[in-house]
């Protein structure tokens, strides 16, 4: 058997941290200590130079690579690998004071003052020029260094700039997209409130004190433009590296609250997906009692990382080894949870985990942020250091998992057009009550809790090959991108099972709603026509009443809440009707047979009991086998799977609950890679404990 390789082509899983020697150049003994302690902690990768611009280019055009050379030289004498960052995230003062035009303009039109980070204009030609010059110089100097494993492109791009140049760029983007003002006016329905644009110059970014959200097409296009603009900035950063001769792969670490920009667009120029994660695993006493929780959200995002680059493991580029000072209540990670959460990322397809940060600085905004080496008396004898060491041991034991992938029969759909529109732009039923992406999370959670592997994909993306899936769960798919109806119809005809419902198929790619209620092709696919949408107060409920002998065998009644469509059947078969109100008797849950596949349409939002019953019925009817029989996993325990190229299966059992949990294995068994012990026929998982079984072949 050949040794498995990770996503960067080396052996084993990666374990590393952001390392900021640029803050310690005055204290070489500290740097000596860092290099003494890296192996002790089990750190194998350091992300360097993320905010090092001022040290690298202390004055315009004068580079000082001495300190970075020293770090590379030290690394070269070890087994460490380097992720070298392009330092564009934080501009040095000399630059922003001499060229204030590189600074960002906020929504009110005020140019920001020099300072902080992510404070530059992504359109600025001058900023791009300075970044490109430095990136190329870095590439020339270090791009072929044997220790260099990855280019870490900047840091968590986010936000937008509202300067004249960005708005001019927006107008050019619109001209390319629409060709003419007539086409733009039509797509934006601008006759509404007399918003017709008669010259391109009249188009400005939507702002609170201006156009606001009255022209939805404008808001949506501004968001799309923003993601494309950042993608272009990233591509330019990488082009400068390539111009310097380095062929080492690149990644950019996506922002943890990363739903602002479209991750599919942002990551297109990069080679490897990476995301930063700062969940507060202790923000509730026992998260299993709340509707959704940070643990499931974390898994959801991690499964989306898989969806962003199918067929490739990804990297968790940052997480804290203990607390995050910016949190409302920066709780310490309870004993065991750190190792467990590192394993969580691996379970969902990461080939490594890195921390922010190796050593806390003595000053600045993050001096109280968690670190492998914190400002406290513990040093390398601290509890946190021991926690990191325990993660090292676990990752070392999991070396055989490197490079393996997940394979799921189910995907949940999430895309940014729908997210932006429904969460932030639409005026239907009140902003903040959109249930997007909560609906996705709720449905995802059923899979997470029931050992059904599940991907998170943007189903319209060319990267998302629907033929890999048996079931696509697509709630609130309100906006249909051009070509999507054809794509999903072909997949259903070939045998795909689609679960969709309320607020789906209403609008085209410009957010023009279909006068008939739904896209005609979508209407044919779901076998329904939409007439109206009712909204309920949070304490109001209607009912799904299942028809006797329905194809899913569901009998009970279930609550229908929040948003309820009033639809007409045009081919679909009724599984359940509404029980109450003037629309009692109208279809509430239907199925439409299309070719070899089926489309289920749930016309109203439901609560957990129906989600559970419905998904279990769909899995049963359509041959989707949970890894263990339903009911095997106690609350707070999840089972995720990775598959190696040679067919070996790795089953990750993770116990996020505060109790020891017993998990019967129903005839499966394997070697627990974490302990080296055979599993027997059941597992007893300690609170915050885990087991990773290399499954025995039957």
**Of the candidates 101, 214, 222, 235, which has an alpha carbon nearest to the alpha carbon of residue 170?**
222
CA distance 448 to 454: 8
Q: Which of 156, 237, 439, 649 is catalytic?
A: 156
Backbone angles phi, psi at 524, to 5 degrees: -65, -40
Q: Report the distance separating Cα 534 and Cα 529, nearest Å.
A: 15
132, 185, 274, 332 from 384: Cα distances, Å: 38, 58, 24, 9
Q: Which has the closest alpha carbon to 149: 102, 221, 81, 49?
A: 81
In the complex, the smallest distance separating the C-beta of residue 50 from ligand GAL, rounded to whole angstroms, is 7
Q: Is 107 a catalytic residue?
A: no
Q: From the candidates 57, 211, 237, 318, which is the catalytic residue?
A: 318
HSE, CB side, 13 Å, CA atoms: give it for residue 419: 17
Q: Give the shortest CB-368-to-ligand GAL separation in angstroms.
A: 11
Q: Which is nearer to ligand GAL, 146 or 364 (CB)?
A: 364
Interface positions with ligand GAL (CB under 6 A):
155-156, 256, 276, 278, 318, 324, 356, 366, 369
- Pull the structure tokens for residue 648: 């070996």
With respect to ligand GAL, which residue has the nearer C-beta, 90 or 560? 90
Q: Residue 117 CB, nearest distance to ligand GAL (Å)?
A: 8
Q: Is 167 a catalytic residue?
A: no
C-beta of residue 343 within 8 angstroms of C-beta of residue 358: no
Closer to ligand GAL by CB, 318 or 565: give it: 318
- For ligand GAL, give the closer residue by CB, 82 or 324: 324
Residue 89 tokens read as: 């995230």
> Cα(168)–Cα(176) distance, rounded to whole angstroms?
12
Q: Please report how close the Cβ of residue 297 comes to ligand GAL at its closest, in angstroms.
A: 16
- Minimum CB separation of residue 332 from ligand GAL in Å reads 14
User: Residue 493, Cβ neighbours under 10 Å: how many?
Assistant: 13
Three-state SS for 121-167 is CCCCHHHHHHHHHHHHHHHHHHCCCCCEEEEECCCCCCCCCCCHHHH
137 near 63, Cβ under 8 Å?
yes
**CA 94/CA 57 separation, integer angstroms:** 10
Nearer Cβ to ligand GAL (38/157): 157
Q: Based on CB atoms, which residue is closest to ligand GAL, 251 or 497?
A: 251
Q: How far is CA 388 from CA 41, 350, 358, 395, 518, in A?
A: 6, 17, 11, 10, 53
Least Cβ distance, residue 116 to ligand GAL (angstroms): 11
3-state helix, strand, coil in the chain (%, to 5): 30, 20, 45
Quote the least distance from Cβ 463 to ligand GAL, whole Å. Answer: 25
> Where would I find the beta strands (DSSP E) of 366-453?
410-413
By beta-carbon proximity to ligand GAL, the closer residue of 18 and 672 is 18
Rank residues 355 and 491 by Cβ distance to ligand GAL and give the closer one.
355
Query: How far apart are CB 294 and ligand GAL at their closest, in Å?
Result: 15
Cis ω for the linkage preceding 437 (within 30 of 0): yes
Structure tokens at 116: 């902080």
Residues annotated as catalytic (active site), given as ranges: 156, 318
């Amino acid at each position: 058997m050949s040794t498995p390789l990770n996503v960067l082509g080396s052996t084993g899983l990666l374990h590393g941290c952001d390392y900021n020697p640029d803050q310690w150049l005055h204290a070489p003994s500290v740097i000596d200590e860092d290099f003494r302690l890296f192996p002790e902690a089990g750190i194998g990768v350091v992300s360097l130079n993320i905010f090092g611009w001022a040290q690298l280019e202390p004055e315009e055009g004068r580079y000082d690579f001495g300190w970075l050379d020293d770090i590379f030289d030290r690394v070269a004498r070890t087994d460490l690998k380097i992720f070298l960052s392009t330092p564009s995230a934080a501009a040095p003062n000399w630059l922003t004071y001499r060229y204030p035009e590189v600074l960002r303009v906020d929504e009110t039109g005020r140019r920001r003052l020099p300072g902080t980070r992510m404070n530059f204009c992504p359109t600025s030609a001058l900023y791009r020029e300075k970044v490109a010059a430095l990136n190329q110089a870095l590439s020339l100097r270090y791009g072929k260094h044997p220790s260099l494993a990855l280019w870490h492109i900047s840091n968590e791009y986010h936000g937008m700039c509202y300067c004249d140049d960005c708005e001019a760029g927006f107008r050019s983007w619109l001209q390319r997209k629409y060709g003419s003002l007539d086409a733009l006016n039509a797509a934006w329905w601008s006759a509404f409130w007399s918003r017709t644009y008669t010259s391109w110059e009249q188009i400005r970014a939507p702002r609170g004190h201006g156009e606001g959200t009255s022209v939805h097409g404008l808001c949506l296009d501004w968001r799309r433009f923003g993601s494309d603009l950042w993608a272009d900035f990233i591509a330019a950063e990488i082009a400068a590296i390539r111009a310097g001769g380095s062929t080492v792969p690149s990644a950019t670490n996506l922002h943890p609250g990363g739903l602002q920009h479209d991750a599919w667009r942002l990551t297109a120029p990069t080679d490897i997906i990476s995301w930063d994660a700062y969940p507060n695993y202790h923000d509730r006493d026992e998260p299993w009692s709340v509707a959704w929780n940070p643990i499931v959200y974390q898994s959801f995002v991690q499964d989306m990382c898989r969806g962003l680059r199918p067929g490739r493991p990804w990297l968790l580029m940052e997480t804290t080894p203990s607390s995050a000072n910016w949190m409302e209540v920066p709780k310490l990670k309870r004993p065991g949870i750190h190792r467990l959460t590192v394993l969580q990322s691996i379970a969902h397809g990461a080939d490594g985990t890195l921390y922010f940060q190796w050593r806390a600085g003595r000053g600045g905004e993050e001096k109280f942020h968690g670190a492998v080496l914190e400002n406290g008396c513990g040093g390398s004898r601290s509890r946190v250091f021991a926690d990191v060491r325990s993660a090292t041991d676990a990752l070392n034991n999991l070396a055989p998992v490197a490079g393996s992938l997940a394979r799921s029969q189910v995907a949940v759909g999430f895309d940014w057009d729908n997210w932006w529109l429904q969460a932030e732009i639409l005026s239907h039923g009140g902003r903040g009550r959109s249930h997007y992406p909560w609906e996705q999370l709720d449905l995802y959670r059923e899979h997470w809790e029931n050992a059904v592997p599940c991907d998170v994909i943007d189903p319209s993306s060319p990267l998302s090959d629907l033929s890999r899936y048996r079931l696509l769960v697509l709630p609130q798919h309100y906006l249909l991108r051009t070509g999507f109806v054809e794509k999903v119809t072909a997949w259903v005809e070939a045998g795909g099972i689609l679960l969709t419902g309320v607020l789906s198929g209403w609008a085209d790619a410009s957010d023009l709603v279909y006068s008939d209620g739904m896209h005609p092709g979508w209407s044919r696919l779901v076998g329904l026509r939409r007439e109206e949408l009712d909204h309920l107060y949070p304490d109001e409920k209607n009912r799904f009443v299942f028809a006797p002998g329905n194809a899913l065998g569901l009998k009970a009644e279930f609550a229908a809440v929040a948003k309820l469509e009033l639809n007409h059947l045009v081919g679909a078969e009724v599984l359940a009707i509404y029980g109450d109100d003037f629309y009692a008797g109208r279809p509430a849950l239907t199925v439409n047979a299309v070719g070899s596949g089926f489309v289920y349409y749930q016309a109203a939002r439901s609560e957990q009991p129906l989600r559970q019953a419905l998904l279990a019925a769909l899995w049963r009817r359509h041959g989707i086998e949970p890894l263990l029989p339903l009911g095997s996993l106690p609350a707070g325990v999840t089972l995720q799977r990775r598959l190696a190229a040679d067919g070996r299966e790795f089953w990750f059992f993770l116990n996020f609950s505060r109790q020891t949990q017993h998990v019967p294995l129903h005839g499966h068994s394997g070697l627990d890679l974490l302990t080296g012990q055979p599993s027997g026929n059941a597992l007893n998982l300690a609170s915050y404990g885990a087991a990773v079984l290399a499954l025995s072949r039957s």
